[in-house]
């Protein structure tokens, strides 16, 4: 069983926190999963003074690589810091105002990430935080609900906290690594999260994040048959069919390591993409991006379609033309799919700009670029 039910929160969708100096992470291991081309690079690649040699042995003679300037990241970081400051000060009125605006406008950042998704992400603890920090967050969230008992935002935030806290107790290992005490806390806290969510259904206000958290709880509890889950998910999608984070989380639920069979999540993603009321092929590509972290190479290990993923990326780059992250993800997945022609053209567009949340380190970027140019 997978270590965590929250890969969506850790995927390329929100790993802006990795936007740090590439040089500081140059020792990180290169990506696994070469494309379906025998000339694809393997192993680590070293860099020296902006020049590198990949598996092809050809020195990298392009201009010095730089951490790409991404104004969208700066916007995201400012929003994160603002929400976190309001939370730390228990400024519930302003938190409500922001969340209500994000919900009503269905606002997104310039990379397509839903602002309401990021709003809740700003309220979370880190798994590395001491228990005192977790307890402080619980106190703030409980005070929020007490001050505003009809707030859907406070309820969903508390349910998210309880779900995270459940996995914090369980740990990130496989089932045989979980202690009896950790297992009991896991079950109890997930049960609390489910109750908070079910009680919140009676509120007049609704939130798309309610459905996402409900699916995450269902994944952790594992007490639904497939028909029951499909019914729950249909109700969730009916409320907001274009909220693609739900589709990613459903894909995770349907992975063979969880509750699906081989091919289930791929079929579900294609069916959802064909819904004229949904997120379309952008939604399909978002699912591929979200589930790629579960595979060395998602196109070699599953029936995920590169042509359809590519269609989604073409839509995304038109919708979010200023996003270095979108362009970088497009390029990286083209590499994974073995589409050397597309990858080469995208590397030209990138012009040496590296998005740390996508490539992890300079070596990976150079490795794949050398492969595309070989």
The three-class DSSP label of residue 66 is strand
Distances (CA, A) of 162 to 29, 111, 156, 187, 196: 33, 29, 10, 11, 9
pLDDT at residue 9 in the model = 44
pLDDT at residue 59 in the model = 52
φ, ψ of residue 54 in degrees (nearest 5):
-90, -165
pLDDT at residue 176 in the model = 87
pLDDT at residue 13 in the model = 35
Fold of 71-223: 1.25.40
Counting as low any pLDDT under 50, the low residues of the chain are 1-58
φ, ψ of residue 127 in degrees (nearest 5):
-65, -20
Within 8 A by CB and 6+ apart from 184, the residues are none
Distance of CA 295 to the CA centre of its chain: 14
Distance of CA 132 to the CA centre of its chain: 27
Distance between CA atoms of residues 219 and 255, nearest Å: 11
The three-class DSSP label of residue 49 is coil
Handedness of CA 126, 223, 286, 332 (dihedral sign): positive
Distance between CA atoms of residues 50 and 62, nearest Å: 8
Concatenating the DSSP letter of every residue in 334-363 gives HHHTT-HHHHHHHHHHHTTEE-HHHHSSHH
Distances (CA, A) of 267 to 7, 13, 106: 20, 22, 27
Concatenating the DSSP letter of every residue in 98-163 gives HHHHHHHHT-B-TTS-BHHHHHHHTTPPPTTS-HHHHHHHHHHHHHHHHH-TT-HHHHHHHHHHHH
The closest alpha carbon to 7, from 273, 258, 270, belongs to: 258
Residue 272, class by beta-carbon neighbours within 10 Å (0-12 exposed, 13-18 middle, 19+ buried)? Answer: buried
CB atoms within 10 A of CB 37: 14
Residue with tokens 């926190």: 17
pLDDT at residue 69 in the model = 67
What pTM did the predictor assign?
0.84
The structural domains of the chain, with segments of one domain joined by +, span 71-223
């Amino acid at each position: 069983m997978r270590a965590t039910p929250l890969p969506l929160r850790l995927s390329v969708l929100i790993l802006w926190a990795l936007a740090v100096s590439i040089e500081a992470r140059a020792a990180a291991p290169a990506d696994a999963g070469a494309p379906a081309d025998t000339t694809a690079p393997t192993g680590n690649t070293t860099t020296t003074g902006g020049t590198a040699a990949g598996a092809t042995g050809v020195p990298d003679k392009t201009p010095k690589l730089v951490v790409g300037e991404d104004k969208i990241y700066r916007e995201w970081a400012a929003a994160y810091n603002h929400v976190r400051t309001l939370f730390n000060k228990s400024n519930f009125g302003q938190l409500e105002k922001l969340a209500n605006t994000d919900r009503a406008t269905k606002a997104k950042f310039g990379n397509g990430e839903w602002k309401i998704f990021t709003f809740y992400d700003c309220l979370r603890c880190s798994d590395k935080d001491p228990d005192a920090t977790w307890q402080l967050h619980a106190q703030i969230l409980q005070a929020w609900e007490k001050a505003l008992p009809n707030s859907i935002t406070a309820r969903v935030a508390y349910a998210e906290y309880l779900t995270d806290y459940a996995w914090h107790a369980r740990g990130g290992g496989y089932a045989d690594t979980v202690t009896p005490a950790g297992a009991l806390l896991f079950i109890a806290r997930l049960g609390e999260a489910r109750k908070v969510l079910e009680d919140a259904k009676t509120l007049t206000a609704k939130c798309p994040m309610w459905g996402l958290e409900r699916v995450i709880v269902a994944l952790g509890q594992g007490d639904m048959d497939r028909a029951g889950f499909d019914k729950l998910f249909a109700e969730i999608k009916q409320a907001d069919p274009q909220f693609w984070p739900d589709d990613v989380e459903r894909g995770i639920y349907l992975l063979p390591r969880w509750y699906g069979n081989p091919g289930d999540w791929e079929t579900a993603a294609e069916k959802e993409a064909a819904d004229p009321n949904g997120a379309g092929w952008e939604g399909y590509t978002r699912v591929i991006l979200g589930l790629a972290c579960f595979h060395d190479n998602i196109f070699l290990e599953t029936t995920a379609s590169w042509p359809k993923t590519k269609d989604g990326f073409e839509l995304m780059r038109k919708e979010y033309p200023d996003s270095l992250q979108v362009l970088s993800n497009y390029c990286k997945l083209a590499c994974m799919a073995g589409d050397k022609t597309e990858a080469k053209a995208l590397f030209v567009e990138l012009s040496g700009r590296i998005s740390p949340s996508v490539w992890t380190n300079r070596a990976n970027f150079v490795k794949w670029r050398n492969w595309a140019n070989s």
